[in-house]
């Protein structure tokens, strides 16, 4: 597995875990369900997660964690890619964990 594939896999797992936490963790789920604009709130969390990933790439720990991102001017595109991967896996986790509507 290449470092790029590994980082994409880690981001996908983080996105799925993020959705599961907001769905099933009792206090977090109650807080999240009380908000009217859940999509925007989740987008903020996904953006923060992607920014943390890119920020981590600028630290010495990046090589130890297998993050294959350089801290340079292409970081913006890396951030957008990270947000896309986290949001995609988060949405897939939502689709797999949502309750089906019974009519």
| Residue 91 forms part of a structural domain | yes
Structural domain range at position 30: 3-97
Q: How far is CA 58 from CA 42, 70, 82, in A?
A: 25, 7, 15
What average pLDDT score do residues 18-47 get? 85
Grade residue 101 by pLDDT with cuts at 50, 70 and 90.
very low
| Residue 69 forms part of a structural domain | yes
68 touches 7 (CB < 8 A): yes
Measured distance CA(59)–CA(65) in Å, rounded: 11
62 touches 69 (CB < 8 A): yes
| Residue 62 forms part of a structural domain | yes
| Residue 83 forms part of a structural domain | yes
Count of domains observed in the chain = 1
Q: Return the higher-pLDDT residue of 99 and 18.
A: 18
| Residue 102 forms part of a structural domain | no
Give the predicted TM-score (pTM) of the model: 0.66
């Amino acid at each position: 597995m290449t470092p790029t594939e590994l980082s994409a896999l880690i981001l996908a797992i983080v996105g799925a875990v993020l959705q599961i936490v907001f769905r099933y963790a009792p206090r977090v789920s109650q807080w999240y369900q009380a908000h009217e604009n859940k999509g925007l709130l989740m987008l903020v969390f996904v953006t923060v997660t992607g920014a943390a990933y890119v920020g981590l790439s600028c630290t010495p720990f990046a090589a130890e964690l297998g993050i294959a991102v350089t801290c340079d001017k292409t970081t913006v595109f890396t951030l957008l890619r990270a947000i896309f991967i986290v949001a995609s896996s988060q949405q897939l986790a939502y689709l797999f964990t949502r309750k089906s509507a019974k009519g």
